[in-house]
Chain A
Amino acid sequence: MNLTLKIWRQKNPSTKGEMKTYPVSDISEDMSFLEMMDVLNEELITKGEEPVAFDHDCREGICGSCSMYINGEPHGPDRGVATCQLHMRKFKDGDTIHIEPWRANAFPVLKDLVVDRSSFDRIIQAGGYVSVNTSGNSQDANSIPIPKENADLAFDAATCIGCGACVAACKNASAMLFVSAKVSQLSLLPQGRVEAKDRVLSMIDQMDDEGFGNCTNTGACAIECPKEISLDNIARMNREFLSASISK
Chain B
Amino acid sequence: MSTLDSKIPEGPIADKWTNHKNHIDVVNPANKRLIDVIVVGSGLAGASASASLAEMGYNVKTFCFQDSPRRAHSIAAQGGINAAKNYQNDGDSTFRLFYDTVKGGDYRSREANVYRLAEVSASIIDQCVAQGVPFAREYGGLLDNRSFGGVLVSRTFYAKGQTGQQLLLGAYSAMSRQINKGKVTMYNRHEMQDLVLVDGKARGIIARNLVTGELERHSAHAVVLATGGYGNVFYLSTNAMGSNVTAAWRAHRRGAYFANPCYTQIHPTCIPRSGDYQSKLTLMSESLRNDGRIWVPKHHKDVEAIRSGKLKPTDLKEDDRDYYLERRYPAFGNLVPRDVASRAAKERCDAGFGVNKTGEAVYLDFSAAIMRYGSEKAHTSHIQNPSNDQIRELGEKVIEGKYGNLFQMYEKITDDNPYKTPMMIYPAVHYTMGGLWVDYNLMTTIPGCYAAGEANFSDHGANRLGASALMQGLADGYFVLPYTIGDFLASDIRTGKISTDSKEFEEAEKDVKSRLESLINNKGSKSVDHFHKRLGKVMWDKAGMARDTKGLQEAMAEIKEIREEFYKDVFVPGSVDEFNPELEKATRVADFLELGELFAKDALDRNESCGGHFREESQTEEGEAKRDDVNFAFVSAWEWTGNPSESVLHKEDLKFENIELKQRSYK
Contact = CB atoms under 8 A, between A and B. Distances in A.
Interface in A105-127: 110-111, 114, 116-118, 120-121, 124-127
Looking at B130, B275, B280, which has the most chain A CB atoms within 10 Å of its CB? B130
A31 B277 CA distance: 8
A87 B579 contact: no
Nearest to A43: B527
Contacts of A62: 75-76, 162, 165
B186 interface: yes
Contact of A142 (B142, B186, B241): B142
A57 interface: yes
B42 to A, nearest CB: 11
A145 B85 contact: no
A174 B73 CA distance: 28
A136 B120 contact: yes
Interface in B217-273: 240-242
A136 B479 contact: yes
B353 interface: no
B174 A134 contact: yes
Contacts of B527: 42, 45-46
A213 interface: no
A46 to B, nearest CB: 7
A39 B277 CA distance: 7
A159 interface: yes
A121 B69 contact: yes
B404 interface: no
Interface string B425-465: 00000000000000000000000000000000000000000
Contacts of B173: 124, 128-130
B323 to A, nearest CB: 28
Contacts of A128: 173, 176
A220 interface: no
Given A89-B415, A125-B179, A35 B141 contact: no
Contacts of B120: 136
Interface in B113-142: 120, 123, 125-132, 134-142
Contacts of B127: 132, 134, 136, 138
A151 B240 contact: no
Contacts of A121: 68-70, 176, 179, 186, 188
Contact of A151 (B71, B136, B573, B581): B136
Interface stretch (B48-56, B101-109, B304-312, B370-378): B48-56
Interface string B621-653: 000000000000000000000000000000000
Contacts of A44: 573
Contact of B579 (A59, A110, A138, A148): A110
Contacts, number: 214
Contact of B241 (A56, A118, A155): A56
B33 interface: no
B68 A117 contact: yes
Contacts of A125: 176-177, 179-180
B619 interface: no
Contacts of B241: 56-59
B125 A141 contact: yes
B295 interface: no
A12 interface: yes
Contact of B412 (A85, A135, A189): A85
Looking at A85, A134, A185, which has the most chain B CB atoms within 10 Å of its CB? A134
A87 B415 contact: yes
A135 B527 CA distance: 48
B139 A30 contact: no
Interface stretch (A47-55, A229-237, A239-247): A47-55
A196 B162 CA distance: 25
A157 B451 CA distance: 33
A85 B271 CA distance: 13
A94 B177 CA distance: 50
Contacts of B478: 134, 136
Interface string A215-240: 00000000000000000000000000
Interface string B56-100: 000000000011111111011000000001010000000000000
Given A64-B71, A121-B68, A132 B131 contact: yes
A28 B442 CA distance: 47
B279 interface: yes
Contacts of B126: 136, 138-141
A7 B179 CA distance: 36
Interface string A3-14: 000000001100
Given A35-B279, A55-B67, A126 B180 contact: yes
B48 A134 contact: yes
Contact of A159 (B71, B162, B274, B277): B162
B73 A58 contact: yes
A146 interface: yes
A204 interface: no
B330 interface: no
Interface in A141-173: 141-142, 145-148, 151-152, 154-155, 158-159, 161-162
Contacts of A48: 571, 573
A42 B67 contact: no
A77 to B, nearest CB: 13
B496 interface: no
Nearest to B165: A62
Interface string B490-503: 00000000000000
A2 interface: no
Contacts of B579: 12, 53, 110-111, 114
A34 interface: yes
Contacts of B413: 32, 85, 87
Contacts of B138: 148
Interface in B381-425: 412-415
B363 interface: no
Interface in B274-308: 274-275, 277-280, 282-283
B661 to A, nearest CB: 32
Interface string B472-496: 0000001100000000000000000
Contacts of A110: 211, 579
B97 to A, nearest CB: 16
A28 B75 contact: no
Nearest to A147: B141
Contacts of B73: 57-58, 63
B540 interface: no
A18 to B, nearest CB: 18
Contact of A63 (B76, B176, B188, B274): B76
A235 B68 CA distance: 27
B7 to A, nearest CB: 22
Given A148-B139, A152-B134, 16 more contacts: A42-B527, A50-B573, A50-B574, A55-B67, A58-B240, A63-B66, A63-B73, A121-B68, A125-B177, A127-B180, A129-B177, A136-B126, A139-B126, A148-B137, A152-B137, A161-B165
Top 9 nearest A-B pairs (CB, nearest first) are A145-B141, A129-B173, A136-B123, A155-B134, A138-B130, A141-B129, A154-B134, A57-B240, A30-B274
23 contacts: A30-B275, A30-B414, A32-B413, A35-B278, A45-B527, A50-B574, A60-B280, A63-B76, A63-B240, A64-B70, A110-B211, A114-B579, A126-B180, A129-B174, A132-B174, A134-B174, A136-B478, A138-B129, A138-B130, A141-B129, A154-B132, A155-B160, A191-B130
Interface of B: 48, 51-52, 55, 66-73, 75-76, 85, 87, 120, 123, 125-132, 134-143, 159-160, 162, 165-166, 169, 172-174, 176-177, 179-180, 186, 188, 211, 240-242, 274-275, 277-280, 282-283, 412-415, 478-479, 527, 529, 571, 573-574, 578-579, 581-582
